[in-house]
């Protein structure tokens, strides 16, 4: 079953404005891109810097408007959602960022960071329910529950990314978009975080859209790969098909 179906997605950014600030020229960052992600699979979106990977992620999450096209997610047409509908949708579609240093609020403890998604999505209502879910998720990502009152700066880079993953898991999403989620980490730590994602995929039946420019990692983790080149989707297939072109 297709969990995500992207049809002719186009995103143009203004590249030149006139004297009164009205855009007069546009740059096409994503050009008529179509692909789908099956339930339970890892699809990697690869391509050099500037090829449109992050822009696709932002269009899916509805943090930026797309210019043309259709997006279907979990049986729903999410091409045009009101902000309130987009918030509800994001309960089931969460993102892991490249830089957990900047995405984790330094003034919040782990408990506060992980409580927020529960409050936003009105999930666990009592303190005891929240406590239970936070412990559950910390256990999934391998962070001791005893660290709950600590602040982000008290953790290593790999641990911070685990907390970022925990935050994404709080609302029990169906799809996780990982945007260069291990690229900023030391190589030895990368392997641990990748293995965690693979394990979570198996245990929770997660579906992953894995955005990366690192072919070794992509090769290891992906069921299928979609290749972008300057905004165009130039190839989609299994890792074997895409990497063994004649
Ligand atoms: P990638 O994630 O593959 O590095 P991006 O999606 O970040 O690629 O960028 C694709 C293209 O869109 C690039 O040419 C980039 O400069 C441009 N772009 C990205 N974000 C913006 C923005 N907010 N405003 C204008 N142009 C942008
Ligand atoms: P870029 O791809 O331009 O480097 P980022 O990957 O840092 O941007 O962030 C992607 C988008 O997600 C941005 O619009 C940013 O404002 C937003 N964002 C960053 N961190 C968070 C967060 N923790 N929660 C929600 N949105 C975030």
Rounded to whole angstroms, how far apart are CA atoms 64 and 43? 21
Q: Ligand 2 pocket: which residues have CB below 6 Å?
A: 54, 58, 63, 97-98, 103, 179
Averaged pLDDT for residues 10-21: 93
Report the SS3 class of residue 245: coil
Q: Which ligand is nearest to the CA of 64?
A: 2
Q: How far is the CA of 243 from the centre of ligand 2 (A)?
A: 31
Q: Report how far apart the first and last C-alpha atoms of the chain are (Å, whole number).
A: 31
pLDDT-derived band at 246 (thresholds 50, 70, 90) equals: low
Rounded to whole angstroms, how far apart are CA atoms 128 and 32? 47
pLDDT-derived band at 149 (thresholds 50, 70, 90) equals: very high
Helix then strand then coil, % of the chain, to nearest 5: 40, 30, 30
Mutation choice for ligand 1 from 49, 55, 57, CB with most ligand atoms inside 8 A: 55
Contact 207, 174 (CB under 8 A): yes
The model carries a pTM of 0.87
Report the SS3 class of residue 49: coil
Q: How far is the CA of 103 from the centre of ligand 2 (A)?
A: 7
User: What ipTM was assigned to the predicted interfaces of this complex?
Assistant: 0.73
């Amino acid at each position: 079953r297709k969990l995500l179906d992207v049809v002719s997605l186009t995103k143009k950014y203004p590249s030149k404005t006139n004297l009164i600030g009205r855009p007069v020229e546009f740059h096409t960052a994503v050009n008529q891109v179509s692909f789908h992600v099956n339930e339970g699979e890892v699809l990697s979106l690869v391509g050099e810097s500037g090829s449109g990977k992050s822009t696709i992620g932002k269009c899916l999450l509805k943090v930026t408007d797309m210019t043309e096209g259709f997006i279907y997610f979990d049986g729903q047409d999410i091409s045009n959602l009101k902000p309130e509908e987009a918030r509800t949708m994001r309960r089931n579609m969460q993102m892991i960022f490249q830089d957990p240093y900047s995405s984790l609020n330094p003034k919040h403890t782990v408990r506060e960071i992980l409580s927020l998604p529960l409050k936003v999505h009105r999930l666990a209502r009592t303190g005891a329910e929240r406590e239970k879910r936070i412990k559950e998720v910390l256990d999934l990502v391998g962070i001791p529950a005893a660290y709950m009152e600590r602040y982000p700066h008290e953790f290593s880079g790999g641990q911070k990314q685990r907390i970022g993953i925990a935050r994404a898991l709080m609302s029990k999403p169906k799809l996780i978009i990982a945007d260069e989620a291990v690229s900023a980490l030391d190589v030895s730590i990368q392997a641990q975080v990748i293995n965690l994602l693979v394990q979570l995929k198996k245990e929770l039946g997660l579906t992953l859209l894995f955005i990366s420019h690192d072919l070794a990692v992509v090769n290891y983790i992906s069921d299928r790969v979609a290749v972008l080149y300057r905004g165009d989707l130039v190839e989609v297939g299994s890792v074997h098909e895409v990497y063994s072109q004649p």
